Amino acid sequence: MNLIVDVGNTAIKLAVFDKENLLFDTSTESEKFIEKVRDVFNFYPDITWAIVSAVGSLGQKEIAALSIFCQVHILSHTSKIPFKNSYATPQTLGVDRIALATAAFYHNSTANTLVIDAGTCVTYDMVNDYGEYLGGGISPGIHMRYEALHNQTSKLPLLDLDDPIDLIGNSTPSSIHSGVVNGILAEIDGVIERYSSRFKDLTVILTGGDAQFLSKRLKNTIFADSKFLLTGLNLLLEYNKR
């Protein structure tokens, strides 16, 4: 069994795989990481390997504690990957994007695949039908857009995500919701259309914390898979074991 540790910007996700089968997943705060890991190993004592993918920060104390329970692979740009990486600066490529590209490659190594991860940031990652990772794009996520409007102005309020009632906002809150939600939808649909014009028979996979909200509102045909990153990390761990 494998333990997946995905350290994001806002939370730490833990998942347990038995080969390719996802058995369990949860999230925790960094302060409760060691306690949560202990609980996971008590329930799944057959875990022998773990992979740590850290976009956020995870201290050496936590990694040392994890190493007591099993062998640990720290994902980095030096890890082995199954696809050809044509990113100009591979040492700066985020580990989350490496995992998404891996999941895309295994999903169909002979297809043009665009993975959109809608989380703290929105990332676009393109793997072509030759199994080559080309790169993509990074833009602010939904909640970052709300926060930017509040933090970079003197009077705009900080709002929680809400579906705009109408395209035309008739108050400051409704105008913010319209601008943020319709803006990110227009961005993602527009990016998909531009990639589709360049790559034949493009498969688009949407994942991340805001995937469910966005998938129901996008015009383009997509496959929504909230566990796509976890799957990619499990595949990378298996690949690096060999």
Q: Determine whether the annotation assigns residue 163 to a binding site.
A: no
* CATH T-level topology, domain 84-233: Nucleotidyltransferase; domain 5 (3.30.420)
Q: Are 71 and 238 in contact (CB under 8 A)?
A: no
Q: What is the pLDDT of residue 233?
A: 98
pLDDT digits (tens, 9 = 90+) for 208-229: 999 999 999 999 889 999 999 9
Q: Which of 49, 32, 61 is nearest to 239 (CA)?
A: 49
Q: 106 among the known binding-site residues?
A: no
- pLDDT at site 42: 95
Which pLDDT score, from 0 to 100, does residue 31 have? 87
Q: What pLDDT was estimated at residue 224?
A: 93
Report the C-alpha gap between 185 and 135 in whole angstroms.
21
Residue 172 CA, chain-centre distance (Å), reads 31
pTM, rounded to two decimals: 0.92
CB atoms within 10 A of CB 200: 10
The rounded distance, in Å, linking the Cα atoms of 164 and 227 is 27
7 annotated ligand-binding residue: yes
Domain boundaries, the chain: 2-74, 84-233
Half-sphere exposure of 71 (CA within 13 A, CB side): 9
Mean per-residue pLDDT over the chain, rounded: 95
Q: Binning pLDDT at 50, 70 and 90, where does residue 173 land?
A: very high
pLDDT for residue 217: 94
Instruction: Kindly tell me the burial class for residue 207, based on how many C-beta atoms sit within 10 Å of its own C-beta (0-12, 13-18, 19 or more).
Output: buried
Q: Which of 25, 46, 96, 129 does the annotation list as catalytic?
A: 96
pLDDT band at 200 (very low <50, low <70, confident <90, very high): very high
Two domains, one topology: 2-74 and 84-233? yes
Name 142's Cβ contacts closer than 8 Å, sequence gap at least 6. 118, 161, 180, 181, 184, 210, 213
* pLDDT of 92 over the 80 cut: yes
- The total of other beta-carbon atoms located within 10 Å of residue 34's CB is 16
Cα separation, 99 vs 88, in Å, equals: 18
Q: Known binder of ligand: residue 98?
A: no
Q: Rounded to an integer, what distance in angstroms lies between the CA atom of residue 180 and that of residue 174? A: 10
| Fold entry, domain 2-74 | Nucleotidyltransferase; domain 5 (3.30.420)
Q: Is 6 annotated as a binding residue?
A: yes
pLDDT tens digits, residue range 49-91? 999 999 877 888 889 999 999 999 999 999 999 999 999 999 9
Distance (Å, whole) CA 85 – CA 79: 12
**According to the annotation, is 59 in a ligand binding site?**
no
Q: Confirm or deny that 120 is annotated as ligand binding.
A: yes
pLDDT in tens, 113-172: 999 999 999 999 999 999 999 999 999 999 999 999 999 999 999 999 999 999 999 999
Is 70 in contact with 52 (CB distance < 8 Å)?
A: no
Q: Known catalytic residue: 201?
A: no
- Structure-token pair, residue 172: 């400051």
